[in-house]
Amino acid sequence: MDTLLMATRIRCLHASSTSSSAVPTAFRSPAIHQLSFSRAHLLSYRSAIMNMCVRVRQSRFPVTRRINSPTRRGLFSSVRASTEKSYSPSNRKLIVINSVVIIALAVANRVLYKLALVPMKQYPFFLAQLMTFGYVLIYFTILYTRRRLGIVTDEMLSVPKWRFAIIGFLEALGVATGMAAAAMLPGPVIPILNQSFLVWQLLFAILILGRRFLLKQIFGCLLVAAGVVVAVSSGSGADQTLSGIGLLWPAVMVASAAFQAGASITKEFVFNDSAKRLEGKSLDIFVVNSFGSGFQALFVFLLLPFLSNLKGIPFGSLLPYLKDGAGCFFNTGAKISGCEGAPIIPLLYIATNLAFNISLLHLVKISSAIVSSLTVMLSVPLSVYIMSKPLPYLPGGTSLSSNFMMGSIVLVLGLLLYNIPTTPTKPDTKTS
């Protein structure tokens, strides 16, 4: 290789020296003029040799760019938190607006669910399955319409479907384990154990998304979870403990929260990865909603014998139960009383829940799964406060202890701590 390079350099020097001593055209003799055609070929050859020399020099001594790589930092150091993407002011405003809408929808969702269970108190399992399988039809109808309008492209639909299968499997598994644990645990303990959801999200964001968090953000998330625990445990019956239950069923409930948290982080991963696959284009949320709900419904269908037994419904009696549940839902043909308020209140709840799920996924898309979870948690004390007041079909409110106010204050402080902007001392620079 070195011999070839040396020969090429000699040819280059020879070409440059001979070309500089060439006779000008104005002073050529007739004999030299007769050789002009062959000399033109010779000059072309020398020009090619010189160009090759330049390329050899460039390959031998490549031009390097100096890139200032960001300094490596520890896990909890003062790096700009990667839970957030770098938001522009307009995007921050959009996140705030979406968060306010989600808080309102979350409060309405919780209150209407409580009201919907008044006429459907005998058939909560029917209501859950109606929403699970009904949402698949609604989401795919919206997806088909958006595909016809050109909003959803073929590239969006070519996203690997195994990721949606993972999302559906995790959500179905979260439902199954949550129902199994809820049947064995005291009621007030369930929302307390569910606060492990946020802790799992932090862990999965680090492991799956490669995120790094500030200490203040981690402490803020823990304050939010603690505030929810204090707020929801302030009502009657909150003094019940886990004595006599053991560790199995609390562990199953915590595992249920882990499955749900894994599904939410996987959705965020799908959005982030699709932005690279689609060359900066944004993946439509109904692609994620449709295929994720479709796989969830598939796995729930496979688990129906197990789930129905958990609710005290033998699998052989499931069809008559669903038929009676449909009669109560539409308030026609039911042989039992107590379905007053259907179908208006259950339909209001389903419509609100549908809007809540769509808005929540949109917030995950433009911000992160953890921001969406913190937003939803802010709605918990608001919902508890509203449900403590007299409501239609729920006359007579309940009194809240001072722990409720204390828990709400702790929750808000945690949200403020998490969202306090941090000014980096030395901004990372990258030149190319």
Residue type (1 letter), 227 = G
For 346-356, how does the pLDDT look when each residue is reduced to its tens digit (9 = 90+)?
999 999 999 99
Instruction: Give the model's pLDDT for residue 75.
Output: 32
Instruction: Give the model's pLDDT for residue 105.
Output: 97
Host H or E run for residue 94: helix 89-116
| Residues 394/118, Cβ–Cβ less than 8 Å | yes
**pLDDT grade for 388, boundaries at 50, 70 and 90:** confident
Q: Which residue has the tokens 């603690």?
A: 226
For 280-306, how does the pLDDT look when each residue is reduced to its tens digit (9 = 90+)?
789 999 999 999 999 999 999 999 999
Closest CA to 218 of 197, 232, 203: 203
Instruction: Give the model's pLDDT for residue 29.
Output: 42
Instruction: Compute the distance between CA of residue 412 and CA of residue 227 in angstroms, rounded to an integer.
Output: 8
Q: Is the pLDDT of residue 389 over 50?
A: yes
Instruction: Compute the distance between CA of residue 208 and CA of residue 215 in angstroms, rounded to an integer.
Output: 19
DSSP string, 14-51: HHHHHHHTPPPGGG--HHHHHTHHHHHHHHHHHHHHHH
Closest CA to 115 of 401, 405, 383: 383
Contacts for 340 with CB less than 8 Å, ≥ 6 apart: 118, 119, 331, 393
Q: Which residue has the tokens 């199995």?
A: 248
**Mean of pLDDT values over 120-143:** 95
Contacts for 349 with CB less than 8 Å, ≥ 6 apart: 109, 112, 113, 115, 116
| Residues 324/397, Cβ–Cβ less than 8 Å | no
Residue type (1 letter), 291 = F
Q: Is the pLDDT of residue 57 over 80?
A: no
For 324-371, how does the pLDDT look when each residue is reduced to its tens digit (9 = 90+)?
999 999 887 545 678 888 999 999 999 999 999 999 999 999 999 999
Instruction: Compute the distance between CA of residue 368 and CA of residue 279 in angstroms, rounded to an integer.
Output: 20
Angle between helices 285-302 and 344-366 (to 10 degrees): 120
* pTM of the shown model: 0.75
Residue 215 buriedness (CB in 10 A; 0-12 / 13-18 / 19+): exposed
**pLDDT grade for 26, boundaries at 50, 70 and 90:** very low
Instruction: Give the model's pLDDT for residue 423.
Output: 58
